[in-house]
Amino acid sequence: MATCRGGLLLRGARRAAFGPAEPALWGLNSIKGNCHNFCTAVHKDVTYEELKNLLNSKKIMLIDVRNASEILENGKIPGSINIPLKEVGEALQMNPEDFREKYNEIKPSKSDHLMFSCGAGMRSKKALDIALSLGFTKSQNYAGGWKEWSTYEHTEKKQGN
């Protein structure tokens, strides 16, 4: 009998703390709407092979969030556009004409597939969080960044692929 009362007390305390929304806290699948705090948990990073296939399909916009000087010094993934991390939030909220003028590209819509990259995945993760918080729900991160891309590309060229 004491166990039963303890269980009832525990359930009562849970209900008081969480209310009827408690089931939503049990899994990310039940979270709907703006998921800023949870989005990166449900968006998996993209591998080199996946990125290469997506670039070949021309179904993504790859945004390199490194500084322009890093790109000039090291190179960039072909087909990427440079929007430094400090500009990502503002850029994704620009009107289309201003975006085209500044970045020489068509501004992505919230339904477009965006991919973020940087040197090794840290800044691109931050850019992903910004994009998701602004409603760009089809955004992903290439965590390997330029470092991984250049290693694979250098190896493929050496092998004659």
Q: What is the largest CA-CA distance in the chain?
A: 75
pLDDT (average), residues 113-120: 96
Catalytic residue numbers read 118
pLDDT over 90 percentage in the chain: 66
Query: Residue by residue, what is the 3-state secondary structure of the chain?
Result: CHHHHHHHHHHHHHHHHHHHHHHHHCCHHHCCCCCCCCHHHHCCCCCHHHHHHHHHHCCCEEEECCCHHHHHHHCCCCCCEECCHHHHHHHHCCCHHHHHHHHCCCCCCCCCCEEEECCCCHHHHHHHHHHHHCCCCCEEECCCHHHHHHHHHHHHHHHCC
- Contact between 109 and 61 under an 8 Å Cβ cutoff? The reply is no
In DSSP terms, which residues pair with 81 in a beta bridge? 63
Residue range 68-83, pLDDT digits in tens = 999 999 999 999 999 9
pLDDT of residue 38: 41
pLDDT of residue 60: 95
Residue range 5-37, pLDDT digits in tens = 444 444 444 444 444 443 433 343 333 344 444
**pTM higher than 0.85, yes or no?**
no
pLDDT of residue 116: 98
Residue range 54-65, pLDDT digits in tens = 999 999 999 999
pLDDT (average), residues 122-147: 96
Residue 4's φ and ψ, nearest 5 degrees, are -60, -45
| Domains in the chain: ranges and CATH | 45-156 (3.40.250.10)
**Separation between Cα atoms, residue 128 and residue 60, nearest integer Å:** 14
**Separation between Cα atoms, residue 60 and residue 70, nearest integer Å:** 23
Residue range 82-105, pLDDT digits in tens = 999 999 999 999 999 999 999 999
pLDDT exceeds cutoff 70 at 50: yes
User: Sorting pLDDT into bands at 50, 70 and 90, what band is 42?
Assistant: low
pLDDT of residue 44: 82
